[in-house]
A and B are shown apart, each in its own frame.
Chain A
Amino acid sequence: MATRGDVVTAVRASEARSARSMFPLDRLVVGLVFVGSIVASLLIWELLSKGGLISETDLPAASTTFAKLWDFMHTEAFWTAFFQTVRGWALGLAVATALAVPIGIVLGTSDFAARAFRVPIEFLRPIPSAALIPVLFLTLGTTLKSEVFLAAFGAFWPLLIQTMYGVHDVDPVAVDTARAYGLGRYERLYRITLPGAVPYIATGLRIASTVSLILAFTAELFMGVPGLGQKVNEASSYGLNEDLYAYALATGFLGVAIHLAMTGVERRALRWHPSQRGVL
Chain B
Amino acid sequence: MSARTSSAVKVAAEIAVPVALLVAWQAWTVHAQSQYFPRLSTILVEFRELWLFAQFGTHVVPSLERIVLGFGIAVVVGIALGIPLGLSRWGRLAAMPHIEFWRAIPPPALLPISVVLLHSIGNAQKVSFIAFFCVFPTLLNTIDGVRGIDPTLADTARSYGIRGFARIRRIVLPAAMPQIAAGMRVSLALAVIIMVVAEYFSSTSGVGYVLLISKNTFQMGPMWAAIVLIGVLGYLLSVLFSLAERYFLAWHRGWRAAIPG
**Binding partners A and B:** yes
User: Smallest CB-CB separation from A16: which chain B residue?
Assistant: B96
How many whole Å from B170's CB to the nearest CB in chain A? 23
- Which residue of the partner chain, among A33, A59, A251, contacts B93 with CB atoms under 8 Å? A33
Closest CB in chain A relative to B63 CB, distance in Å = 12
Choose among A111, A119, A236, A248 the residue that contacts B17 (Cβ–Cβ < 8 A): A119
Residue numbers in A under 8 Å from B119 (CB-CB): 58
Tell me whether A118 and B113 are in contact (CB under 8 A). Answer: no
Check if B69 is an interface residue, CB within 8 A of chain A. Answer: no
Q: Are A221 and B108 in contact (CB under 8 A)?
A: yes
- Is A134's CB under 8 angstroms from B215's CB? yes
Do the beta carbons of B104 and A255 come within 8 Å of each other? yes
The interface bits of chain B over 226-261 (1 if a CB of A lies within 8 angstroms of the residue's CB, else 0) are: 110011001101100000000000000000001000
A236–B109 Cα gap in the complex (Å)? 11
A37 to B93, CA, bound (A): 9
- Inter-chain contact total with CB atoms closer than 8 Å: 176
Cβ B13 vs Cβ A252 within 8 A = no
Assembly CA distance A126 to B179 (angstroms): 20
The verdict on A15 contacting chain B, using a C-beta distance below 8 Å, is yes
Contact of B98 with A120 in the complex, beta carbons under 8 Å: no
Given contacts A11-B147, A59-B117, A251-B109, contact A4 B258 (CB under 8 A): yes
Contact yes or no, A41 B200, CB < 8 A: no
B144 is an interface residue with CB less than 8 A from chain A: yes
| Stretch from B49-57, B160-168, B182-190 at the A interface | B182-190
- Closest CB of chain B to A229's CB: distance in Å? 7
CB <8 Å contact, A34 and B182: no
Docked pose: A115 CA to B193 CA in angstroms: 27
Q: Are A248 and B105 in contact (CB under 8 A)?
A: yes
Interface of B is mostly: helix
Distance between Cα atoms of A118 and B13 in the complex (Å): 10
Partner of B117, one of A54, A133, A251, A256: A54
- Check A218 against B17 for contact (C-beta < 8 Å): no
A244 with B112: CB separation less than 8 A: yes
A214 and B109 CA atoms in complex are apart in Å by 9
Majority-rule SS of A interface residues: helix
| Shortest beta-carbon distance from A36 to chain B in Å | 8
- Chain B interface category by residue count: 35 or more
- A218 and B108 within 8 A (CB): yes
* Centre residue among B9, B95, B100, B137 by max chain A CB count within 10 A: B100
Is the Cβ of B100 less than 8 Å from the Cβ of A229?
A: no
List B contacts of A58 (CB < 8 A): 116-117, 119
Q: Is the C-beta of B73 less than 8 angstroms from some C-beta in chain A?
A: no
CB closest residue in chain B, given A229: B108
Q: Is the CB of B223 within 8 A of A134?
A: yes
Q: Least Cβ distance of A110 to chain B in Å?
A: 10
Query: Is A173 in the interface zone, CB < 8 Å from B?
Result: no
Residues 87-122 (chain B) with a chain A CB within 8 angstroms: 90, 92-98, 100-102, 104-113, 115-117, 119
Give the residues in chain A near B95, CB-CB below 8 Å: 37
A247 to chain B: which residues have CB within 8 Å? 109
Q: List 14 A-B contacts (CB under 8 A).
A: A1-B185, A33-B94, A34-B97, A38-B98, A112-B10, A116-B17, A119-B17, A122-B235, A126-B192, A127-B231, A128-B193, A222-B200, A248-B105, A255-B105
Given contacts A138-B36, A251-B109, A256-B100, 10 further A-B contacts (CB under 8 A): A1-B182, A5-B183, A37-B95, A37-B97, A115-B11, A116-B14, A128-B196, A131-B230, A135-B36, A256-B101
